[in-house]
């Protein structure tokens, strides 16, 4: 996630770090080549049937911008829902720490380790990493089809043992179980977003239409604008290609793209709080931002 301050007037024009430009520079270069070819063809061979009328592009551009805004809104909704789910996870973990504060340390610490394993295992699962290895840094990994859910199940088993041993009453047990249920809800919600992308045919339609529109537009503008076609074509291409690429990034909010959620940073934040609750004094450092980007 980009964490830089809001750019000033000059930075708006020249800022590259944090923008979508690196992802679309190849397509912009292709637009430049097509535009040069369109202008040269108009000047040297105006008789060739490659010059298009500009009027249809106004209608096509309007329709394309509306459909692209629908897609980007859907992608942003996925990104925002994912952030809210991780916000719920942070609340549930902090509540669990607070509600177990009066337990004996030898019974509480393994439970917090299990919660830490769940958090890091979830982040690894969402980013395609070794979830079992991340969980093993905190607590033993149980053989199970779903290692992250198994880590949470282990914490639930320890809560049941506390009830059986008389260390907590049924009311306190139900409160702790509610926190674990909230964490399980976050797990299911994140997996739903991760495993259910937007319909491929819808995205493909917009990809093809945006490319066709931006690469044909110079042939409609060249007769009227001449070399100024370059500026207009690049501006339109940057807008449409940029929105298209930004939608691709937001569609999977758990990835490693610049605008994806900072799962590593949020996991480290919870790690520091869990270790502090366990009495650690040498806490892991805060996850750093590199070149205005937090991962």
pLDDT at 249 over 90: no
The lowest-confidence range among 46-50, 103-107, 214-218, 247-251 is: 46-50
Q: What is the pLDDT of residues 28-86, one digit of tens each?
A: 999 999 998 888 888 777 766 666 777 777 888 888 888 888 888 999 999 999 999 99
Q: How confident is the model at residue 91 (pLDDT cuts 50, 70, 90)?
A: very high
Q: What is the pLDDT of residues 122-163, one digit of tens each?
A: 999 999 999 999 999 999 887 888 999 999 999 999 999 999
The whole-model pTM stands at 0.89
Output 119 or 145, whichever has higher pLDDT. 119
3 state SS for the chain: CECCCCCCHHHHHHCCCCCCHHHHHHHHHHHHHHHHHHHHHHHHCCCCCCCCCCHHHHHHHHHHHHHHHHHHHHHHHHHHHHHHHHHHHHHHHHHHHHHCCCCCHHHHHHHHHHHHHHHHHHHHHHCCCCHHHHHHCCCCCCCCCCHHHHHHHHHHHHHHHHHHCCCCCHHHHHHHHHHHHHHHHHHHHHHHHHHCCCCHHHHHHHHHHHHHHHHHHHHHHHHHHHHHHHHHHHHHHHHHHHHHHHHHHHHCCCCCCCCCCCHHHHHHHHHHHHHHHCCCCCCCCCCCCECCECC
């Amino acid at each position: 996630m980009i964490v830089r301050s809001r750019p000033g007037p000059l930075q708006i024009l020249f800022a590259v770090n944090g923008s979508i430009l690196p992802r679309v520079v190849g397509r912009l270069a292709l637009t430049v080549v097509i535009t040069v070819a369109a202008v040269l063809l108009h000047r040297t061979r105006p008789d060739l049937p490659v010059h298009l009328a500009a009027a249809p592009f106004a209608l096509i551009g309007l329709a394309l911008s509306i459909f692209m805004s629908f897609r980007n809104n859907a992608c942003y909704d996925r990104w925002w829902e994912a952030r809210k789910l991780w916000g719920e996870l942070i609340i549930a973990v902090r509540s669990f720490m607070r509600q177990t504060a009066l337990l004996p340390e030898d019974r509480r610490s393994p439970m917090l380790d299990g919660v830490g394993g769940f958090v890091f295992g979830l982040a690894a699962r969402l980013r395609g990493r070794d979830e079992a290895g991340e969980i093993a840094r905190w607590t033993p990994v149980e053989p199970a089809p779903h290692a992250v859910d198994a880590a949470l199940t282990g914490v639930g088993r320890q809560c049941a043992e506390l009830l059986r041993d008389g260390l907590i009453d049924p009311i306190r047990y139900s409160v702790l179980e509610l926190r674990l249920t909230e964490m399980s809800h976050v797990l299911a919600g994140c997996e739903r977003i991760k495993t259910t992308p937007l319909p491929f045919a819808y995205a493909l339609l917009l990809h093809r239409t945006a490319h066709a529109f931006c690469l044909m537009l110079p042939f409609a503008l060249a007769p009227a604008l001449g070399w100024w076609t370059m500026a207009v074509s690049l501006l339109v291409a940057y807008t449409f290609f940029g929105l298209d690429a930004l939608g691709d990034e937001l569609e999977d909010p758990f990835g490693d793209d610049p605008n994806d959620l900072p799962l590593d940073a949020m996991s480290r934040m919870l790690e520091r709080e869990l270790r502090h609750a366990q009495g650690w004094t040498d806490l892991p450092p805060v996850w750093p931002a590199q070149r205005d980007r937090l991962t």
